[in-house]
C-alpha cells in the first residue's frame, strides 16, 4: 500500500526516538512491499525557534493531508518561562483540535521481562493489561482561561455529545477485550462529572448492555491503580484526569519511556506519540528509551493504515528485544545499558 505519514520530531529527545521509529517504518515498508512517504516537519519549541509559532501553517496543512501523524515530544525550559506568550503545548492542543482526535488510547501492559523495573511488587504487576481511553479535546484544557493580578480561572466544560462519543469508543474497545469498563469521574464534587456519569450510564445501558460498567471516583482510581491494577480492563475518563492517571499507570510498566499512545477521531487518520515528555535533561545523550515510539508506530500501522500483521510484527520485535536483555538506562537497573540506537538495532534485527 501507499501511505503518507507526517513526522513531527519536536524537541528534546523527540528527534532521537523518532529516528528509531522511522527506521522501523522503512524496514517494514521494504519487507512487505509498501511505499511510505515520510514528511518531516517543525513542531513545538523547534517550530517556535524557526517561525515564532508552535504549529506553523505548513506543518498543520501537511498533517491534515496525511494518512497519519507520528510525534516525538515537545517542550522544555527554553520555552516554559511563566511570562511566555507562545508555548509548545499550545501547538499540541491546536493540532489535536484541528485533527479532531478526541479519543486518546493509552495501553498499559507489563512486560514479564521488566517486572523488576517497577517499584511495585512483581505479584501485583503480573498479568496487568489495561487500556486507558482519555477524552482529548474538551474539559479544562480547552475551556476559557482568564488571569489578572489577583486571580486566575480555567473553565471546565463538557457537552453530552462529547461524553457520548468517548464512552462509545471506550465501550467498543471493552467489548473487544474482557468486557469491563470503569468510568472515572469526580461526581461527588463536579457538575461536569455528574453529567459525565449520567450520560455514561445511559449510553452503556442502551447501547452496550453486554459490557459491565463500574463508576469510580478519580481519587479512588488513583489508589486502586497501584493496589490492584490487574483488575482493570478499559478505563474511560475526561481530559485532565486521564492526563494524570496515565502517567501514574506508566509506572506499573516501569518507565514513561515504554508506553505508546494513539489519538483517534471519526476517520482513520490519527496522531501517534509516546506518552513521555521531551526529557531535556537527557536530550542529545543517546540514552532515551524508544519503546514508546516504536509501539506508537505499531498503533499507527494498525489503526490508521490497517496493517495488523505489520503492527504485530513490530510489537513482537520490541518484546523479543526486551526478552533478550536489550535495555536503555531507564529500565536497565544494574545491568549493562544500551543506547537508543542500539535498542533500535536490536528491534530491527528481529524484524
- Residue of 129, 154, 247, 345 marked catalytic: 247
Residue 238 sits at φ, ψ, to 5 deg, of -80, 180
- Residue of 141, 158, 272, 330 marked catalytic: 141
Active site residue 219: yes
Confirm if 15 and 72 have CB atoms less than 8 A apart: yes
Distance CA 263, CA 218 (A): 22
Reading phi first (left if > 0) and then psi (alpha if -120 to 50, else beta), residue 291 is in alpha
Confirm if 226 and 119 have CB atoms less than 8 A apart: no
Active site residue 243: yes
How many helices (H) and strands (E) would you count in the chain? Answer: 13, 12
Reading phi first (left if > 0) and then psi (alpha if -120 to 50, else beta), residue 333 is in left
Cell of 8: 513531527
Active site residue 186: yes
Q: Which of 9, 21, 15 is nearest to 301 (CA)?
A: 21
Cβ burial 234-266 (10 Å sphere, 16+ → b, else e): bbbbbbbbbbebbeebbbbbbbbbbbbbbbbbe
Active site residue 78: no
- Residue of 78, 109, 180, 186 marked catalytic: 186
Fill in the DSSP letter of residue 201: H
Provide the β-strand partners of residue 5: 38, 68
Residues annotated catalytic, as ranges = 141, 186, 219, 243, 247
Amino acid at each position: 500500500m501507499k501511505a503518507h505519514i507526517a513526522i513531527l520530531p519536536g524537541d528534546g529527545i523527540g528527534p532521537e526516538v523518532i529516528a528509531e521509529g522511522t527506521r522501523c517504518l522503512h524496514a517494514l515498508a521494504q519487507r512487505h512491499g509498501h511505499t511510505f512517504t515520510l514528511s518531516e516537519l517543525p513542531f513545538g519549541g523547534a517550530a517556535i525557534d524557526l517561525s515564532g509559532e508552535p504549529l506553523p501553517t505548513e506543518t498543520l496543512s501537511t498533517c491534515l493531508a496525511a494518512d497519519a501523524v507520528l510525534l516525538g515530544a515537545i517542550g522544555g525550559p527554553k520555552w516554559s518561562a511563566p511570562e511566555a506568550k507562545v508555548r509548545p503545548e499550545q501547538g499540541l492542543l491546536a493540532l489535536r483540535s484541528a485533527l479532531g482526535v478526541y479519543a486518546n488510547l493509552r495501553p498499559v501492559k507489563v512486560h514479564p521481562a521488566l517486572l523488576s523495573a517497577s517499584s511495585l511488587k512483581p505479584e501485583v504487576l503480573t498479568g496487568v493489561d489495561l487500556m486507558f481511553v482519555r477524552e482529548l479535546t474538551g474539559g479544562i484544557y480547552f475551556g476559557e482561561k482568564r488571569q489578572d493580578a489577583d486571580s486566575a480561572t480555567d473553565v471546565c466544560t463538557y457537552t453530552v455529545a462529547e461524553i457520548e462519543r468517548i464512552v462509545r469508543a471506550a465501550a467498543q474497545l471493552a467489548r473487544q477485550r474482557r468486557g469491563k469498563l470503569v468510568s472515572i469521574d469526580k461526581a461527588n464534587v463536579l457538575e461536569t462529572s455528574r453529567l459525565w456519569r449520567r450520560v455514561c450510564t445511559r449510553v452503556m445501558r442502551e447501547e452496550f448492555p453486554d459490557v459491565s460498567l463500574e463508576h469510580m471516583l478519580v481519587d479512588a482510581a488513583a489508589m486502586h491503580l497501584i493496589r490492584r491494577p490487574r483488575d482493570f480492563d478499559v478505563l474511560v475518563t475526561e481530559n485532565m484526569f486521564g492526563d494524570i492517571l496515565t502517567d501514574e499507570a506508566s509506572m506499573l510498566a516501569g518507565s514513561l519511556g515504554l508506553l505508546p499512545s494513539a489519538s483517534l477521531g471519526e476517520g482513520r487518520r490519527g496522531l501517534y506519540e509516546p506518552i513521555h515528555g521531551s526529557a531535556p535533561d537527557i536530550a542529545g545523550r543517546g540514552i532515551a528509551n524508544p519503546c514508546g515510539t516504536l509501539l506508537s508506530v505499531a498503533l499507527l500501522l494498525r489503526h490508521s493504515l490497517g496493517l495488523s500483521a505489520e503492527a504485530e510484527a513490530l510489537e513482537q520485535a520490541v518484546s523479543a528485544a526486551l526478552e533478550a536483555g536489550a535495555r536503555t538506562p531507564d529500565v536497565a537497573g544494574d545491568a549493562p545499558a544500551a543506547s537508543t540506537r542500539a535498542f533500535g538495532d536490536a528491534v530491527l534485527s528481529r524484524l
